[in-house]
Amino acid sequence: MEEVAKRKAKAEEKPQKPSIYSLEMHDLENWLVEHGDKKFRAKQIFDWLYVKRVTDFDDMSNLSKGLREQLKDKFALTTLKTVVQQTSGDGTMKFLFELHDGYTIETVLMRHEYGNSVCVTTQVGCRIGCTFCASTLGGLKRNLEAGEIVAQVVKVQKALDEQGERVSSVVIMGIGEPFDNYDEMMRFLKTINSDDGLNIGARHITVSTSGIIPKIYKFADEKMQINFAISLHAPNNDIRSRLMPINRAYKLPDLMEAIKYYTDKTGRRISFEYGLFGGVNDQVEHAEELADLIKDVKCHVNLIPVNYVPERDYVRTPREQIFAFERTLKKRGVNVTIRREQGHDIDAACGQLRAKERKEETR
Ligand code: SF4
Looking at residue 207, its amino acid is V
pLDDT at 228 over 70: yes
pLDDT at 193 over 60: yes
* The pLDDT of residue 144: 97
CB of 176 closer than 6 A to ligand 1? yes
CATH code 3.20.20.70 region(s) in the chain: 81-362
* The pLDDT of residue 351: 52
CA-wise closest residue to 203 among 222, 221, 189, 218:
189
Q: Report the C-alpha dihedral over residues 21, 26, 28, 29, rounded to 10 degrees.
A: 160
pLDDT at 345 over 80: no
Please write the tens of the pLDDT for every residue from 1-15: 455 566 556 655 555
Contacts of 270 (CB under 8 A, 6+ apart): 228, 229, 230, 259, 262, 263, 297, 298, 299, 300
* The pLDDT of residue 133: 87
DSSP classification of residue 76:
B
Protein residue whose Cα sits closest to atom 4 of ligand 1: 130
User: Which residue in the list 106, 145, 148, 184 is annotated as catalytic?
Assistant: 106
* The pLDDT of residue 114: 87
- The answer to whether residue 361 is catalytic is no
* The pLDDT of residue 360: 41
List the single range of 16-20, 34-38, 147-151, 271-275 with lowest mean pLDDT. Answer: 16-20
CATH code 1.10.150.530 region(s) in the chain: 2-74
Would you identify the CATH topology of the domain 81-362? Answer: TIM Barrel (3.20.20)
Residue by residue, DSSP assigns 270-296 as: EEEEEEE-TTTT-SHHHHHHHHHHTTT
125, 136 contact by CB (below 8 A): yes
For 10-29, what is the mean pLDDT? 82
Please write the tens of the pLDDT for every residue from 279-307: 999 999 999 999 999 999 999 999 998 87
Q: Which CATH number fits domain 2-74: 2.70.70.10, 1.10.150.530, 3.30.342.10, 3.30.559.10?
A: 1.10.150.530
* The pLDDT of residue 363: 33
User: Edge-to-edge strands of the sheet including 270-276?
Assistant: 81-87, 93-98, 104-112, 115-119, 167-172, 205-209, 227-231, 270-276, 299-305, 336-338
CB of 175 closer than 6 A to ligand 1? yes
Strand 104-112 with 93-98, pairing: antiparallel
Strand 115-119 with 167-172, pairing: parallel
Please write the tens of the pLDDT for every residue from 56-107: 999 999 999 999 999 999 999 977 999 999 999 988 999 999 999 999 999 9
144, 124 contact by CB (below 8 A): yes
- The answer to whether residue 106 is catalytic is yes
CB of 282 closer than 6 A to ligand 1? no
The rounded Å distance from CA 350 to ligand 1 centre is 8
Give helix 284-293 / helix 319-331 axis angle, nearest 10°. Answer: 30
307 is known to lie in a ligand binding site: yes
* The pLDDT of residue 290: 98
- pTM confidence score: 0.90
Rounded-to-integer distance, Cα 351 and Cα 309, Å = 10
Rg for the chain (alpha carbons), in Å?
21
